[in-house]
Structure 1
Amino acid sequence: MGTLNTIRRGLLRFGLAATSLLAGAAGAQGITDTAVKIGVSGALTGPVAAVGAVVEGIRVRVAAVNAAGGVKMGDGKTRSIELVVQDDALDPQRTMTNVRKLVEQSGVFALAGIAGTPNNQAIGRYLDQRKVPNLFMYSGVHELADGRAWLIGLVPSFTTEAAVFADYLKKNKPDAKLALLYVNTETGQTFQAGLRTAIQGSKLQIVAAQAVTSADPTIDTQLSTLKASGADTLVVVAAPKQSAQAVRFAAESGWRPVTMLSYIGASPSSLKPAGLANAKGVITSAFAKPVTAASTDPAVRQYLADHAAAKARFDTGDSMGQIGYITGEALIRTLEAVKQPTRQALIDAAQNMNQVGVGLLLPGVTLTTKRDSGDIYPIESLQLFRFDGEQYQALGGLVSFEGRTPRH
């Protein structure tokens, strides 16, 4: 009898151990019946810490849905979202280190909102091998060499923005001589290639182009070269700091070209260092609703309330924070569509969206992807806005490239 009891106790311990191992394996997938774990790596410090507002915006939206009880997923279970955040200072090597920790140590179910084209390039092959979804990256370059099977972007391609800028100039300044200031990464190179393609066959011409890096303390040399080119139009695709420097230089040097800024560096918050008076007349593109304290739009009011409740560490007018909030909303909408709690089901849902609504997007802008037909761009519409010295005013209607994002 003693021997039998010993065997039973051994079997019980073995069973408990096996159960523990199985639970550990399930936990490594980052999802239980009550919670789903999402990893984020972003620039919380460093020379481009302004981009860290994307992470903070995700946190604001996630905090709101958790406070409301969580996300009811497609399998019928309601789960809270547990964010695990790491700082990478927008350094691709640190992003890679962080992602390994998030996947192998924290056991996240998926990643979301990782900023930077080089950063997402750095982690692509690893995530493909691990089969971990990389959702709604913050980069306008969607055609990465590695990681495409487990990747989905969010913001429009930089080729779309370049085409919208070119379209405006063809109609309103058809003989424009363009000076291009671009960040020297695939972001800027993609925009430049898209712009050169978009102006083919027109009288528009790029007469000078200068590269910058996000770490440059000043860009006066590049701007002086662009001014000397005789250009009457300045197009900028650069981080917020360099975008503001370009606006200030153009105004204070007496150049005063027509200035068009990429959405990545054009929010009113980003323009404050340039002096808002200097920024008057700046044109940019947008896919999110303008946010003002006086807005009566229900989605904007909800965003402002969520921002206040979360004690967010970014200004309500910061477009980076708004994009993060939209990223959090896109994550929630995708989780709601997942009918099985697997990573494959999650990436399938993200890569096959059909006019998914997100409240903070402009009217007429929805999330649509069709993996089998090669449509990998959730947002393919933009609207131009002009800064009046205090806020942006609409400049024409929505321009849609749905299903036909320009290639470069």
Structure 2
Amino acid sequence: MCRFVILLLLFSVKSYGKNPVVVISIDGFAYDYIAKYQPKNILALMNKGASAKGLIPSFPSKTFPNHITLATGVYPTEHGIVHNSFYHPELGKRYKKGTAKDNIHWLNATAIWSLAEQQGLKSAVYFWPESEAKTFTPKPSYLVPYKDNTSSEKGMAQIFQWLSLAKDQRPAVIMSYFSAIDNIGHRHGVNSIELANAIKTFDDQLGQLITQIKQQTQLTPNIILLSDHGMVDIDKNSTIYWPKLVKRFDRLNVVNGQTQLYIYEKNKQRLNDVRSHLTHLAQQYPFTVYQKGEYPEHWQMNKESEVIPELIVNADAPAIFVEKFSLNGAATHGFDPKLTPAMNGIFIASGPDINSAVNIPPFNNVYIMPFLANLLNLTLPAKWNNQPKLLAPIIHCSVKT
């Protein structure tokens, strides 16, 4: 039956149609930006398509863990990128953004573009975090790696160029990433005129792309707008100089993720001492200390994995951990989304294969990848059989014919 269409893919016949799927990820676009800044073209897509009242990021609400979750449909502890920066004891190295390009041991998952290529569909990827990772095979038919200081206008032009290709060359799915709004939000804050201008500029460019597609191609793509996380202003009076917290513990392996400290310590006695010390300090600082195996269930971090730290010191929004007494930036993200709803991103879908006037409750971004797979009529592994039915009303019954 139609209401269960999103769950029945495993038993369907491959019949990808003429409507490409274009995914546009707007880094750092908070759900509340829509009401606050009223971007007309984004609102138009929302009003004629389907949307959620927020897209819940996986913990921590950072860019790289969440973009890989969006692309793979698994939580950070399963795909392996558990923060923008963390330590891998087996490799003896710290992860930095983009490191998975050169080493298959950082990542363990299948991206939507690889699934599409495996099943005979062409894919295209523009700037998506870790899209060059060796783990993601086969590679997309078209790949433009991230290049800093590139205008959003060039990204929109690339999407149009791919959609303009002949049918036998055109990608069935385009995954694209835009960072300008996140950058401006960090620098100037969530209520700044600079952010308002950046959102208007991006929205205008999106509108131009939609018009260009309509006027110059015979396509009507399904457009999916989403974001990895929201943004909150930093409380400059609540910054925590973290080296002072642990100065009594010589050579303690601490990775500062700004909103979390990841502490790696195998010696149980020393670990207990560190935890006791930090728990005592938590009475006077805005953070909470958690130990491996006892992390909150919604973090999805109690799986056994070398990259999961023995302790996580989690900052209470809007406080952050700093390594210098001076503070750069006005806003940030990474906080626990359950405790900080401002971390929620957006999910908007519009197109010929999307039902209109559908508004669903907030849902976790782990379900984006299977949603895209269903929209493309790809066969999914059995582990997605129990995905939530809340996405079922979004896709037209006609997609499954």
TM-score normalised to structure 2 length: 0.29
Structure with the bigger RCO (C-alpha within 8 Å, sep 6+) is 2
TM-score normalised to structure 1 length: 0.29
Structure of higher CA gyration radius: 1
Going by fraction, where is helix more abundant, 1 or 2? Answer: 1
